[in-house]
Amino acid sequence: MYLHGDDPTRSTGSPDIVLACVVVPSAAEGLNAPPYGSAFTILCGVTHPTSRGRIAPSGPGRNDAPVIDPHYLETEHDRATFRIALKRARMVGHHAALDEWRDAEILPGAPVQSDHELDAFIAGAASTHHHPAGTCRMGSDTDAVVDPDLRLNGFDNAFVVDASVMPAIPSGPINAAIVAIAETWAASSRD
């Protein structure tokens, strides 16, 4: 569910956090998830991060893997919003409606309470929602990678038709937007 961290009952404007219940244990790489069948997970995240990652070539060959640095939590906005998201996830996880399903909080664990402790946990747990977008931003300005017709700037017949052209990160899952981009481009390229 997509919510406003400051007021989860607000229904206007763009939500800034996301919570998702997963009926199996799930933990970020490097954290120990409990055994399957023994726990549920409430994932949380920031819908409009202000931190910006970087992708760069690692060498001259086409098979050289890119260097990808997501720069998670680079800005104070992202750290504070993620902290709010984790607090909201905890609130849901500790709700009386889940009493028969919950024994004890495993991650980050009941002793982790201060903002400093929460920030340390988040720094070790933050990862992608696997909805990358915006690495080849579309626009009319000189910093845009592709023009409004999705043509790669500086090339006559090369186009980028995927989530990388989105000029801003959307609030929710991006599949529908990608389908719309691809179908619109495909229809216009037949003209």
Domain count along the chain? 2
Both 115 and 157 in one domain: the answer is no
Last residue of a domain, which of 125, 144, 173? Answer: 125
Both 113 and 26 in one domain: the answer is yes
**25-47 per-position pLDDT tens digit:** 888 888 988 888 889 999 999 98
How high is the pLDDT of residue 191? Answer: 64
In angstroms, the CA 64 to CA 27 distance is: 30
How high is the pLDDT of residue 11? Answer: 92
Percent of the chain with pLDDT over 90: 63
**47-101 per-position pLDDT tens digit:** 888 998 888 999 999 999 999 888 889 999 999 999 999 999 999 999 999 999 8
Mean pLDDT lowest among 104-113, 126-135, 136-145: 126-135
- At 38, is the secondary structure helix, strand, or coil? coil
How high is the pLDDT of residue 146? Answer: 94
In angstroms, the CA 76 to CA 51 distance is: 9
Per the prediction, the chain carries an average pLDDT of 91
Both 84 and 151 in one domain: the answer is no
The residue among 172, 167, 177, 179 whose CA lies nearest residue 134 is: 167
Cross-strand partners of 2: 18
Both 14 and 85 in one domain: the answer is yes
Both 142 and 117 in one domain: the answer is no
Last residue of a domain, which of 125, 146, 180? Answer: 125
The residue among 132, 131, 128, 4 whose CA lies nearest residue 72 is: 128
Q: Which two tokens stand for residue 128?
A: 């992608």
Both 160 and 74 in one domain: the answer is no
Range of the domain at 137: 131-191
- The average pLDDT across 155-161 equals 92
DSSP string, 17-59: EEEEEESS----TTS-PPPTTS--EEEEEESS-----EEE-SS
How high is the pLDDT of residue 182? Answer: 94
- Just list the catalytic residues: 131
Both 68 and 135 in one domain: the answer is no
In angstroms, the CA 123 to CA 70 distance is: 13
Both 54 and 72 in one domain: the answer is yes
**133 or 46: which leads in pLDDT:** 46
Instruction: Reply yes or no: is the peptide bond before residue 108 cis, omega within 30 of 0.
Output: yes
